[in-house]
A and B are shown apart, each in its own frame.
Chain A
């Protein structure tokens, strides 16, 4: 079977800095694919250029379900079945929690009926674990964990076939991370293919079937979690070269 998402030799530069340099990856349908790397290694930029939000790649191709999407208008990408979250807790602060998700349903999924949108939004919020008592609160008032889950809810209400999660666990406590892992697994079981960026390795090692490790914008290694943690280049990138010799 063809991979559901192929990223083919994409690059993105900011001035003289090559933030993403000739990176390729391919994700199979139903897979959880991890993307790791130290700070500033280009992980988020890679997500940005896959979804064209806020900017597309300078060069290279992004093929989703057999169609090239690198030149698609960014707001269309989501309708097409590819949704993302952001690294920072992002929400429509002045809108209610429920409205945050309703927007995803009406604009991202194309649900015309407002009662139906409401229903979809409510169900999705419950799926990610946000209680009905939070629905009418302005999103700005939510806790970090709830904001992160809200962002995931507004993405999955659009019914993506591929979901890109950018650091879903950063800033969370241990029990919250466990709940996030559980959420990622439930999503995956419901048929969603996931790409997960994480700075901290343990979460990725637990959930992902395969991992891509980036360093300075280019691919360091791709492989199963076991392969990756044994790779001397990865150890060096994360801990510095002296760790390798010791």
Chain B
């Protein structure tokens, strides 16, 4: 229990507390909207970290899992009429199904071939959405999706108050899930496969099975995020397949740091807030963010998370040194 309240964990809890209290202090609905979008990005990026970072599987179809959740939830809620309270968790299952489909051709592929197949899968989903106009609305998308409600209370009211807390709750759930997953023996085994595939197989780990689990497990909260996203913005649009969304999520992952779960979440906050702070610069801000990522990768490949951890280690060490110094001085 004491472990829970020291070091990085304490910092995380403080961040969570700030996020819980923020809407009570900051009245701006626009800031709330930004943070809701950040929660969604944070979920997508941190779950992507499971496959791209921990397992080292170059999965570029991750956004397709998100899109599957978006459209899955949209179709279930608008066309079939199921309440969004159910379609959001169901979107997670739809994301997993999409992951299992892309899994089959990449189970035993390596490196660049995984990139090609998963990217192609993503494009295939895009074409599918465009072509099935009666179901998905084609290039127009599916507008006016049913919102989250309790009784007659629409969650978009009072400056999106309700959506903010649902989004934050989902992000917390997803993070606990990932945190536990990467510390389990499953988490260790996928890192082992990444470090040395043949060696891992020779110690009884099944490449195909663990890869299927990796993609499937990384898709659940990604799909949930997709379902929540389309319910929140009330439209499922093919724009999410665009390069912008993919590169934004990837930027968050790289800036925040791979193999850390918390890094991509941090990256999501930093990039959203940075690009908002520079909104007056227009398209220039993307150039600046790209330059930042390149600098980060060159000089700090571990990302922001790693930088913070080292700063923490350094400060606790210098703290220990200071204490030691004081005791010596007294004697």
Give the B-binding residues of A (Cβ under 8 A).
51, 53-54, 73-79, 83-84, 86, 90-95, 99-100, 102-104, 106-110, 114, 117, 151, 154-155, 158
Contacts and interface: CB of A to CB of B under 8 A. Distances in A.
A110 B189 CA distance: 13
A114 B184 CA distance: 10
Interface of B: 185, 188-189, 191-192, 195-196, 198-207, 259
Residue among B192, B204, B207, B259 with most chain A CB within 10 A: B204
A103 B205 contact: yes
A85 to B, nearest CB: 8
Given A74-B201, A95-B191, A103-B205, 5 more contacts: A75-B202, A79-B204, A103-B203, A104-B204, A107-B205
Q: Which 4 A-B pairs have the closest CB atoms?
A: A108-B204, A107-B204, A92-B195, A78-B204
A108 B202 CA distance: 8
Contacts of A106: 185, 189
Given A75-B206, A107-B189, A158-B203, A93 B198 contact: no
20 contacts: A53-B201, A78-B202, A90-B198, A90-B199, A91-B196, A92-B192, A92-B196, A94-B191, A94-B195, A94-B259, A99-B188, A102-B188, A103-B200, A103-B203, A103-B205, A104-B203, A107-B189, A108-B203, A155-B202, A158-B204
A86 B199 CA distance: 8
B191 A92 contact: yes
Residue among A75, A77, A95 with most chain B CB within 10 A: A75
A244 to B, nearest CB: 39
B203 A78 contact: yes
A92 B259 CA distance: 15
A74 B202 contact: yes
Given A93-B195, A103-B192, A51 B202 contact: yes
A103 B189 contact: yes
B210 to A, nearest CB: 9
